[in-house]
């Protein structure tokens, strides 16, 4: 009997041992294949100034405009090339973002993770024979277009793509508002560079443990309005002669030739003030944020984007209505290009509007990022209008 118990126990132990080995083999199947390696990307967005605007609801609640920096979808275009300088680039494949592990498909999709600070991260895996290969990675965020270049085509094909949203002129701009330029989130583009590579060369040599950084840039510009005149009230804003389309990726010169131009109404999520400053309890400055978004344009004589503004000036008991069209000009001969990811602020008046017309209108230009660096492009003694 003791011998039978001994053999029985030994059999059970051996069975458990083999069972444990089998279970280990099953588990290893779900782990990354040994003949692949991962490339990690950290994608930063131009977070914006995080300024809030007031919605016209019952509680006049403050709304954070997260749409200015959120990535809702991301496309990665992979090119192979000869060296770190990116010579002879050839399109290899396209990858698209998903939000769950279950949706990840090998060599087709990647899981995009938001880090909570305006940045995102993800990894993609490559076969071992990709080690030491040079690649260029280009990114498009929030564009509904799913166009894919043909295999082995060069970068000129991708660089020639337009954003999927084309503005169609309704005649007076009433049917076109700035909202159309962020209906799926603001379109952003960027290129990957290797972390630690101070030269920021366009191509990355694929190796185990390599991390890449991507700085995304919005393809549109933004217009704000500011004034300190205590008797002024802005009643209408629109942009005129705005390009109807734009390249996805930044060009040496913005798209202009052959483009059509439209009138764009203000962002409907922005509510204009209904009282002049002197009636707002000591408020000394009016700042109307995110009034307009525009596609980029090289401005010149007879081909210049402008901002049309209607206003009211209160002079005692008298009300004077007027309008002004502010071109993107520094002075009579110097134009200001409408550049992507740039914020333009129109400063109306000088705080002492004693007459019935606006004077000393200035342009202020700064990069549309978290840390704004202001640049006054016109002196107060040099009125633009």
What residues contact residue 62 under an 8 Å CB cut-off, 6+ apart?
52, 53, 54
Query: pLDDT class for 371, splitting at 50, 70, 90?
Result: very low
What residues contact residue 271 under an 8 Å CB cut-off, 6+ apart?
53, 54, 55, 56
Tell me the C-alpha distance between 350 and 285, whole Å.
Answer: 11
Q: Which helix (H) or strand (E) holds 12?
A: helix 2-29
Q: Can you tell me the mean pLDDT for 122-148?
A: 91
pLDDT of residue 298: 92
pLDDT of residue 376: 35
Give 112-123 pLDDT, tens digit per residue.
999 988 899 999
Query: pLDDT class for 224, splitting at 50, 70, 90?
Result: very high
Whether the predicted pLDDT of 2 surpasses 60: no
Give 275-296 pLDDT, tens digit per residue.
988 888 878 899 999 999 999 9
pLDDT of residue 174: 62
Whether the predicted pLDDT of 340 surpasses 90: yes
Tell me the C-alpha distance between 237 and 220, whole Å.
Answer: 18
pLDDT of residue 5: 47
Query: pLDDT class for 335, splitting at 50, 70, 90?
Result: very high
Give 52-102 pLDDT, tens digit per residue.
433 433 333 333 356 678 999 999 999 999 999 999 999 999 999 999 999
Determine how many CB atoms are found less than 10 A away from the CB of residue 34.
Answer: 8
Phi-psi region of 26 (alpha: psi -120 to 50; beta: other; left: phi over 0): alpha
**Domain limits of the chain?**
36-143+184-218, 220-376
What residues contact residue 31 under an 8 Å CB cut-off, 6+ apart?
none
Name which of 46-55, 112-121, 307-316, 344-353 the model is least confident about.
46-55
Name which of 11-15, 149-153, 242-246, 330-334 the model is least confident about.
11-15
Q: Which helix (H) or strand (E) holds 15?
A: helix 2-29
Query: pLDDT class for 135, splitting at 50, 70, 90?
Result: very high
Q: Which helix (H) or strand (E) holds 194?
A: strand 188-194
Whether the predicted pLDDT of 111 surpasses 80: yes
Fold held by 220-376? Immunoglobulin-like (2.60.40)
182 alpha-carbon distance from chain centroid = 9
Tell me the C-alpha distance between 148 and 78, whole Å.
Answer: 11
Give 231-277 pLDDT, tens digit per residue.
899 999 999 999 999 999 998 766 655 678 999 999 999 999 999 88
């Amino acid at each position: 009997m003791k011998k039978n118990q001994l053999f029985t126990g030994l059999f059970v132990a051996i069975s458990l041992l083999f069972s444990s080995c089998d279970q280990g083999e099953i588990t290893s199947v779900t782990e990354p294949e040994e003949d692949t390696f991962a490339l990690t990307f950290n994608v930063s967005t131009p977070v914006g100034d995080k300024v809030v605007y007031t919605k016209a609801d019952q509680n006049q609640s403050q709304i954070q405009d997260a749409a200015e920096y959120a990535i809702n979808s991301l496309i990665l275009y992979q090119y192979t090339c000869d060296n770190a300088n990116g010579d002879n680039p050839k399109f290899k494949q396209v990858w698209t973002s998903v939000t769950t592990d279950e949706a990840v498909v090998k060599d087709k999709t990647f899981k995009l993770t938001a880090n909570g600070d305006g940045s995102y991260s993800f990894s993609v895996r490559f076969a071992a024979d990709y080690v030491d290969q040079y690649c260029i990675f280009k990114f498009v965020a929030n564009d509904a277009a799913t166009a894919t270049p043909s295999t082995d085509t060069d970068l000129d094909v991708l660089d020639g793509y337009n954003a999927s949203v084309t503005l169609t002129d309704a005649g007076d701009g009433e049917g076109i508002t700035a909202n159309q330029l962020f209906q799926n989130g603001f379109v952003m583009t960027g290129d990957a560079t290797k972390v630690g590579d101070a030269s920021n060369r366009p191509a990355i040599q694929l190796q185990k443990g390599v991390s890449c950084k991507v700085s995304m840039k919005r393809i549109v510009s933004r217009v704000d309005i500011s004034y300190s005149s205590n008797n002024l009230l802005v009643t209408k804003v629109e942009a005129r002669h705005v390009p109807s389309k734009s390249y996805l990726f930044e060009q040496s010169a913005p798209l202009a030739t052959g483009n059509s131009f439209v009138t764009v109404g203000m962002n409907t999520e922005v509510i204009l003030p209904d009282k002049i400053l002197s009636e707002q309890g000591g408020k000394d400055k009016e700042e109307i944020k995110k009034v307009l978004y525009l596609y980029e344009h090289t401005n010149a004589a007879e081909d210049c984007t402008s901002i049309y503004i209607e206003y009211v000036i209160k002079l005692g008991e008298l009300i004077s209505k007027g309008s002004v069209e502010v071109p993107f000009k520094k002075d009579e001969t110097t134009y200001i290009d409408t550049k992507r990811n740039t914020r333009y602020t129109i400063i109306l008046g000088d705080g002492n509007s004693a007459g019935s017309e606006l004077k000393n209108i200035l342009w202020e230009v700064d990069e549309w990022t978290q840390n704004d660096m202001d640049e006054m492009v016109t002196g107060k003694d040099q009125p633009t209008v």
